[in-house]
Structure formats: structure tokens, C-alpha cells
Chains A and B, each alone.
Chain A
Amino acid sequence: GAGVSQSPSNKVTEKGKDVELRCDPISGHTALYWYRQSLGQGLEFLIYFQGNSAPDKSGLPSDRFSAERTGGSVSTLTIQRTQQEDSAVYLCASSFPGVPQHFGDGTRLSIL
């Protein structure tokens, strides 16, 4: 499809395991964002990629979280040594700079 694609849609894992979440942005979009949203809460900014610029990592909550974007397209968000408080919906969005973002359906992460 032409939208932002995220995988997996749901992920259940045990505390302490590492997880990788994937985002395929809309083709040609140079900006890519990761957010997370806990149940009933607002969007929490995690990281922002824009073209070849150094990513804005100011929202990453701890050094267990990292993200990369290969070839200016697909992005992977990695959470190491997961904790129960990491349980949330992780949303990816892409856009041209400064214009409205298009969101994926999100990955619902549950840490047991």
C-alpha cells in the first residue's frame, strides 16, 4: 500500500528480552518519527530522522532505546532488556519536512 507500514502489529515478550520494531515510511518522505503512547496517555516523542541530518534523539527515555534508519528509508526501533513500563503502542510517522505526518497503525508492545 501507499501508507506507512509498521511491523509487527502486536508483540508480546518477556521482561528482559530485546525487541525490534520496524517502520516502512511512505516512499519519498524524508522525515521519519517514532512516538509511543501508553494507554490513555498522549503521544510521547522518541526520535526524529530528517534526511541525512543527525537524528534528534532527545525523546529517547533511556539508553535501552535506540533507532536507526538505513538508506533514508526503513527504520528500526530497538528496545533492549525490556521492562514492563515499556508496554505501549509504538507509532511511526513519515512526512516531508514541516508538513502533516502520516502515521502507521502502530505496534502494540506488551511486556510480561
Chain B
Amino acid sequence: RKEVEQDPGPFNVPEGATVAFNCTYSNSASQSFFWYRQDCRKEPKLLMSVYSSGNEDGRFTAQLNRASQYISLLIRDSKLSDSATYLCVVAIKAAGNKLTFGGGTRVLVKP
């Protein structure tokens, strides 16, 4: 079983709609959580950190469920420019705070 698992998608989303997807992690010692965004043929870039109480950044909302060991990302009012692969990342202190990436969820926003 992979340490961090994501539905690869693609999620086909009409422009203006809401889309949400999850990421599950296997190591209960995971302590820090992030969402990255990767555009085609570009390097990954940090989208947002995920806090225990959940957090929002504009149209993006991230949630953490420690009991079920998953994090989620919700995108409201989807824009064409939101089309990308979204990577879930966890850090495990016991592993020297090594950051482990999921395989990514591809989102395609269409007009």
C-alpha cells in the first residue's frame, strides 16, 4: 500500500462548478499536510498548507480528518485556469520530516 494515495482522475468539471477530492495517508504519525499544484510539464508548486481545523484560501478549502487519515481539497467556482494535477503531500516527523507525495489528482475544467 502506498503511503499517500489519491484518485488519479481525471475529474472533468464544468466551469463555475465545485469539485472536491480526497487523499488518504497510511502513517498515523504524519504531522504536516500540504496541497501542491502541478501544471503540465512544470514543476510542482505549493498551493496551500492544511491545518487541523481546516482552512480556506479564496476559492480553495482544505480539510484534515486525522481519525480517518484523509485530507480533502475543495475548489469552488472552478476556473479554466484551475485545470492541473493536484498533489497531496504529508510530512512524517519520525522519518526526519521527509515529505511524501501522492500520485496526484488530475482536474480538467471545461467551458
Interfacial residues, chain A to chain B (CB-CB below 8 A): 31, 33, 35, 42-43, 45, 48, 50, 53, 56, 89, 91, 95, 97-106
Q: Which residues of A contact B89 (CB under 8 A)?
A: 100
In the assembled complex, B52 has its CB within 8 A of some CB on chain A? no
Interfacial residues, chain B to chain A (CB-CB below 8 A): 31-32, 34, 36, 41, 43-46, 49, 87, 89, 91, 93, 95-104
Work out how many contacts link A and B, with CB atoms closer than 8 A.
Answer: 54
Q: Are B103 and A42 touching (Cβ within 8 A)?
A: yes
Secondary structure call for the B interface: strand
Known: A45-B100, A89-B41; 9 extra A-B contacts, CB below 8 A, are A31-B97, A42-B87, A45-B101, A50-B96, A91-B43, A91-B44, A98-B93, A100-B99, A105-B43
Tell me, in angstroms, the Cα distance from A91 to B45 when the chains sit together: 12
Closest A residue by C-beta to B98: A48
Tell me, in angstroms, the Cα distance from A53 to B98 when the chains sit together: 12
In this complex, the member of B31, B87, B98, B103 whose beta carbon has the largest number of chain A beta carbons within 10 angstroms is: B98
A67 to chain B, nearest CB (A): 15
Q: Which residues of A contact B104 (CB under 8 A)?
A: 42-43
Q: Which residues of B contact A105 (CB under 8 A)?
A: 43
Ordered nearest first, which 8 A-B pairs have the shortest CB separation?
A98-B97, A42-B103, A97-B97, A103-B43, A98-B91, A100-B46, A43-B101, A50-B96
Q: Are A42 and B101 touching (Cβ within 8 A)?
A: yes
Q: Which residues of A contact B101 (CB under 8 A)?
A: 35, 42-43, 45
Q: Which residues of A contact B97 (CB under 8 A)?
A: 31, 50, 97-98
